[in-house]
Chain A
């Protein structure tokens, strides 16, 4: 056993209101520089939709992630031989149009326009050409309703749905959407790291954050093609690629990352997971239907004395083990089993998990009365009648296995019934308890889920371990010397070339 620690995340989609505060917080801190105009380390997608970049989930087009060939795992986008033949032109990069052409508005027109009978307007200007543009797409085009039904209809997660189901999704009465915020998943088996010919990408040993060394990056852009989530971006100005760094400078000072900190819906949870690094190579090759379970398996119980002993032996700091024991992520993923990884079939083993959303039920008119269907005492609907097909959520979070989604939704529903019975009382407690046991849960667990979902404090949502940078620095130099010698900001700004 090779125990490592990883800072992991859970996003509770039922709580996301799609306000994009996270995206804006991130943008203001990290990507408001020249060359980063089009980058969104954090973006919020509206599902069903094609996302950003357009149809990033369609690896038949983008060739991201891993595939099993024979008994080996290989990158779809590149390899030791192919990297040579594609060295001057990487054929799998999204175009600017697939992200979007960044723009701003000509705000001065609002002030300088001569007096007239109509309102002055600020025309959009391309940040690339500086000329007026006709905006064709944006990082959140699905939500802006700027496109057309074409975007929603071409969501790759709709595969496996019948034609009738797809048609119904378009119908006005059934219209459904939910939000899907995305950051870098800081995967256990990152394709971006594996693809880099310069060895510029690395996964930090102490916390598993995946970073790009701006000094070693040589702009091959292999990571851009290899990341199936399209979360590394190329900065045309510095000639380096950049990605979400999970605000590690904030984490090192005990603060939550900016997108977590600013989250209005409080959907985000962050904490340490302990995992067995020895088994990554083995489980990444498993058949797709076993991946979710296998990933859960290599996440270790931080309360297990054996695991603690092994963790100590592997050099995981005592304070990190303690932090892992309090981790909300561990509870969501491993104890309650209600958080699932996005598209684990790309085999990068993402360490950001999502609690799938309970979506509005199908409406039906009965005697000219609009009914929401009936279930647990006619208050909560059966989730199989959700407007969004179960298959769709399964494609997104469970390699198409609807059973895993049902398990989660049944439990979430039972928790609601239980709290309804306890606080309102219009559902008999016996019914609620029966629902809980059917959902593989108990009243105490339901209470825990309720507290962590509805009432968590800041410190419960973000259990940030001491980062022990001094331990990492110690390997190279005296931490006290290092502390004296480093200042603020860049010692050398990122520059093209060697």
Chain B
């Protein structure tokens, strides 16, 4: 509940018409730190590309922990390097890593292929408190965004950047009929059904971040050069948020079979009607043997 408290407060503030809700604390933090630095930090771009979808600096915890004050929390800089390269290995042997893992919904995806100097830049950047990381304030969602988000999800409305509609690979509660796609399951996503993605992925901030620069195996590549616009991210997040408040029901898959069977029976009946006068038999009918 305390995660929503700032949101509610922010809505009230937004009524005054100036600051967007989530960005409110972030903006303060982000703007305060790099005010003097005109020079762009070397770690800024790689951080955005690789970390920002799950971690904020000073923006509160999303999918992963807030990296503000990381320097003071971790045992050493080397610990961070090792953790980024092989999170699973660290979780297995390191007590602090294990403790962190317990507090968050998923393993951090390892980045073993990240070049050492880039990683060093990123860590410098984080330790410096994220200078220049202008957490752009996305506007607050409105009632209309939920409907727009639904249309974007189902593909009724195309994504401006040309990316595929969510429904191609994902399902969600309330689609009705045959439900959504199942391709996400095929590439190892933990849960292709996005009904509760909102709660799983760190609420509004987390989902917005995840959509801004997706880190998921396939989505990362699919959306690499077809990013979603800010309005789309807001709308989709609003829709996912609205869905997550629906009562839990995971029935979509079963309906598929039921609809399939009904459809097949109807098709057979139709074929029978179309060829109602087809040849069946002559002799059996004649002598009354036909059933």
Which residues of A line the B interface, CB within 8 A? Answer: 50, 53-55, 58, 61-63, 91-95, 97-98, 136-137, 147-148, 150-151, 154
Contact = CB atoms under 8 A, between A and B. Distances in A.
Nearest to A61: B282
Nearest to A90: B279
24 contacts: A50-B283, A50-B286, A54-B283, A55-B282, A61-B282, A62-B279, A62-B282, A91-B275, A92-B278, A92-B279, A93-B279, A95-B279, A95-B282, A97-B281, A97-B283, A97-B284, A98-B281, A98-B282, A98-B283, A136-B283, A150-B287, A151-B286, A151-B287, A154-B286
B99 interface: no
Contact of B282 (A53, A91, A147, A150): A53
Contacts of A92: 278-279
B282 to A, nearest CB: 5
A91 B279 contact: yes
A97 B279 CA distance: 13
B286 to A, nearest CB: 6
B289 interface: yes
Given A58-B282, A94-B279, A147-B287, 5 more contacts: A54-B283, A62-B282, A95-B279, A136-B283, A150-B287
B285 to A, nearest CB: 9
A471 B58 CA distance: 101
Among B278, B282, B283, max chain A CB count under 10 A is at B283
A154 B287 CA distance: 10
Interface string B269-291: 00000010011111110110100
A147 B283 CA distance: 11
Interface of B: 275, 278-284, 286-287, 289
Contact of A148 (B275, B278, B287): B287
Nearest to A63: B279
A interface secondary structure, majority: loop
Contacts of A150: 286-287
Q: Kindly list the 9 A-B residue pairs having the minimum CB-CB distance in the complex, ordered from nearest.
A: A54-B283, A91-B278, A54-B282, A98-B282, A92-B279, A95-B281, A55-B282, A98-B283, A150-B287
Contacts of A137: 283
Contacts of A53: 282-283
Contacts of B287: 147-148, 150-151
A76 to B, nearest CB: 12
Nearest to B289: A136
A347 to B, nearest CB: 21
Nearest to A225: B279
A97 B282 CA distance: 8
A396 B278 CA distance: 26
A435 B287 CA distance: 46
A70 B4 CA distance: 80
B286 A55 contact: yes
Nearest to A150: B287
B13 to A, nearest CB: 69
A38 to B, nearest CB: 13
B165 to A, nearest CB: 36
Contacts of A93: 279
Contacts of B284: 97
